[in-house]
Amino acid sequence: MPDIVLGILGFVALFGFMVLRTPVAFAMLITGFLGTWILDGMNRATAVLVTETYSAVANYSLIVVPMFILLGNVASEAGFSRGLYDAAYAWVGRLRGGLASASVIGCAAFSAVSGSSVATAVTIGKVALPEMKRLGYGTGLSTGSIAAGGTLGFLIPPSTGFVMYAILTEESIGRLFMAGILPGILMMSLFMFAIWITTLRDPAAGPRGEKVALSRRFSTLLSALPLIAVIVVSIGGIYIGAFTPVEASGVGAALTVLFAFALRKIDLKGFGRAVIETVTTSTMLYMIVIGANVLNPFLSLTGVPSGLENGLAALGLGPYGTLVIILLTYVVLGMFLDGLAMLVITVPIYYPVIVALGFDPIWFGVIAVIVIEMGMITPPVGLNVFVVRNVAGDVALSTVFRGVLPFLLAMIACLLLIIAFPQIALTIPNSMFN
């Protein structure tokens, strides 16, 4: 049997395991181990399992994952997210749909300390959804804005998506973090524009909030100051070169814990819950990395990446035509797979193709993350949609999916702008690292 056919069968087995609800990390690990065993013997498969497991766990760069997760969990447990939301509402709440816009801004700000779309959606959703319900917001707009706003956690640094992409491709985590800043701001702005358009068509969907005095607007910033300080120090420290991403994650986590205890926003019991949640989430992410590292040698042995590159080249679609095909496969996969699963399965295959086509790999990392974000709010999986629906409680799933449609169009607009103008993603990293 040709090796490439075995590689294709390996993908069939991989998706079969996931259909049977095998965790994606173990689906990749089992497929990679058995595939390598068949192609290169038991000794080789065992050696790959041992060495790749050790190298994944011992990877110094991966420390940013548990540190930033701890930062986000402590901030959530301490209630700092409420301060971000209140400050955003004080400044934009008077606008039509202002509460939904404040939710998006709150999601963007919390994304800068959590790195997780699900954590962002849950944290801001618990604060914002009851308020929007109280003020009579349309259910679709309220849930849609939280579900879409939560996806910013996968784009705005410290994004776990960028960390995974960097580890899989050996690109710079710092460059990827910086590349996500302007696209993140652009997407947040487009989300707010989508809210404005929605409320323009249906004013009852997003009524104006009460006017807040200027003095109170500035006072609300004080409640958000701890997290603002953490964002400025950690992300700003990376930008000016004071910290590496790993150092910034440690500094940010330490500052958040210090602020939480100093301001008496958290006790030892709450801190313990944050630590346990951090360990649980980090373990899952480490297992995904281990599974990907065991799967990738099997794919290399089968020649699937080079076969795909040759196949796409034979289509004669040119660089951008090939890019469209790749992005369309992400859209299809996003209907069935979790975002991180998509990333670790596809990047080792698509990355050589992107480099061969002459595209900037940092730019493609941003593009890939945005398309994966779209999968988080599209049926039938739409992880963020299910999360927000659970937080909202009594909302039909179809209502949430209808609510995210304007935001999905905004994401498509953001994607097209970054494809047309790559400097949106590359200006900051190129100014720092060149």
Give tens-digit pLDDT for 232-249: 888 888 888 888 888 888
Helix (H, G, I), strand (E, B) or coil at 135: coil
State phi, psi for 359 to the nearest 5 degrees. -80, 150
Q: Does a structural domain hold residue 33?
A: no
Whether the predicted pLDDT of 354 surpasses 60: yes
Banded model confidence at residue 79, pLDDT cuts 50, 70, 90 = confident
Return d(Cα 29, Cα 37) in angstroms, integer: 12
Return d(Cα 135, Cα 145) in angstroms, integer: 15
Please name the residues in contact with 87: beta carbons below 8 A apart, sequence gap of 6 or more: 217, 220, 221, 223, 224
Q: Does a structural domain hold residue 43?
A: no
**Residues 87 and 102 sit within 8 Å (Cβ to Cβ):** no
Domain holding 219, by residue range, is: 61-288+303-433
Q: Which of 89, 100, 110 is nearest to 155 (CA)?
A: 110
Whether the predicted pLDDT of 2 surpasses 90: no
Whether the predicted pLDDT of 122 surpasses 60: yes
Q: For the chain, state the CA radius of gyration.
A: 22
Whether the predicted pLDDT of 363 surpasses 90: yes
Please name the residues in contact with 320: beta carbons below 8 A apart, sequence gap of 6 or more: 419
Banded model confidence at residue 254, pLDDT cuts 50, 70, 90 = very high
Return d(Cα 140, Cα 132) in angstroms, integer: 11
Tokens representing residue 200 in the block: 């323009």
Q: What mean pLDDT do residues 301-305 have? A: 78
Residue 7: predicted pLDDT: 79
Q: Does a structural domain hold residue 402?
A: yes
Q: What mean pLDDT do residues 28-54 have? A: 89
Helix (H, G, I), strand (E, B) or coil at 425: helix
Instruction: Render the burial of 138-177: b for 16+ CB within 10 Å, e for the rest.
Output: bbbbbbbbbbbbbbbbbbbbbbbbbbbbbbbbebbbbbbb
More confidently predicted of 197 and 126: 197
Return d(Cα 87, Cα 82) in angstroms, integer: 9
Tokens representing residue 147 in the block: 């579900």
**Residues 292 and 344 sit within 8 Å (Cβ to Cβ):** yes
Any idea which of 145-149, 278-282, 299-303 has the lowest mean pLDDT? 299-303
Q: What mean pLDDT do residues 105-121 have? A: 83
Sign of CA pseudo-dihedral 205, 120, 280, 401: positive
- 26-38 pLDDT tens trace: 888 999 999 889 8
Q: Does a structural domain hold residue 227?
A: yes
Whether the predicted pLDDT of 1 surpasses 60: no
Q: Does a structural domain hold residue 178?
A: yes
Whether the predicted pLDDT of 432 surpasses 70: yes
**Residues 385 and 404 sit within 8 Å (Cβ to Cβ):** yes
Q: Does a structural domain hold residue 55?
A: no
Please name the residues in contact with 219: beta carbons below 8 A apart, sequence gap of 6 or more: none
Q: Does a structural domain hold residue 241?
A: yes
How many separate domains does the chain show? 1
Residue 421: predicted pLDDT: 96
Return d(Cα 416, Cα 303) in angstroms, integer: 32
pTM, two decimal places: 0.86
Q: How crowded is residue 356: how many other Cβ atoms within 10 Å of its Cβ?
A: 14
Q: Is residue 115 left, alpha or beta, with left meaning phi > 0 and alpha meaning psi from -120 to 50?
A: left
Residue tagged 């974000």 (tokens):
373
Residue 366: predicted pLDDT: 95
Please name the residues in contact with 143: beta carbons below 8 A apart, sequence gap of 6 or more: 129, 388, 389, 392, 395, 399, 400, 403
As a whole-number percent, the residues of the chain with pLDDT over 70 amount to: 99
Instruction: Render the burial of 367-390: b for 16+ CB within 10 Å, e for the rest.
Output: bbbbbbbbbbbbeebbbbbbbbbe
Q: Does a structural domain hold residue 391?
A: yes
178 to 157, 183, 237, 304, 362: CA distances (angstroms): 7, 10, 11, 32, 10
